[in-house]
Structure 1
Amino acid sequence: MRVNVATSVATWFGTGLSPVAPGTAGSIAALVPAILAARTLGWSGRDIGACGVALFLPAVWAADVAAKQAGLKDPGFIVVDEVVGQCVTLFGASKLNWQTWACAFVLFRAFDIWKPFPIRRLEHLPGGWGIVADDAAAGVYAALVLCFIGWLQSRFTV
């Protein structure tokens, strides 16, 4: 694999080269800087979610270039899509604590693997669009569930 800016971003700076569960590694690699930003800069889930949205187009570009260089439709080493989806998930967090981080991780991975309607259809979009759009949509689904959980907690916490 030729290393350049696109492949660096697509592999999320090498995270996607993990020999075990690169998608999960990509999700974790998204959470580490998110947790640091929340703790040191006071970022909210919405701030982190906004970063995921801002990363969407660069992720599409990087995934497209890296996939073409590899000659594959959706290579496993491309994990910037998981980074986008994991960050978008956090948009639904009303507060950030270890339970929220864990719940956001599990929800995003579940929706990313399950791909309920119409997420799976998004994989058929051309190039980087298909690689990233399904994970972004999984992040939206997970964010909605995370938001609902936060709402339930606020309604039923004594």
Structure 2
Amino acid sequence: MGRAVLHLHPAGPHHRHVHLVRQPVRRGRHADRPITGIGGKCLDVTDNSSADGTPAQIWSCTGGANQQWTRAADGTLRSLGKCLDVAGGGTADGTRVQLWTCNGSAAQQWTWTAGRDLVNPQANKCLDVTGNTSADGTKTQIWSCTGGANQKWTLPS
């Protein structure tokens, strides 16, 4: 769905051209765009699966639905209708990051800092690509923020 936008353009002293343009409606703060990280790779939902517990990974950007993320007004990051989630609400370095049904928990809150870190405030840890590698299929976790390239993210503007 979208919204109609009316554009009036003068076409002379007594006439106007009218154009009706359809524009998509954006929900949340920033809707359905890729989040990119190390090596320009996209944050990706493994195997395009919306099943609870599906790991978040990085993958070469394809434009697929499993690489489209919405920064919602409630502080969550959403893809495929689910939320980016710290497994079990964990706070320890190495806790995996996954897709889970949105439930309003602190495990699903993310803050994007001026330094381009994605931080889970409950754990006070960064979204981290394991092993500091940009290989397709590398899983994500939370880890103490180090400033490394594997913790830097570009979100939709």
Q: TM-score, normalised by structure 1?
A: 0.24
Comparing both structures, which one devotes a greater share of its residues to strand? 2
Comparing both structures, which one devotes a greater share of its residues to helix? 1
RCO comparison, higher one (Cα < 8 Å, 6+) = 1
Q: Which structure is larger by alpha-carbon Rg, 1 or 2?
A: 2
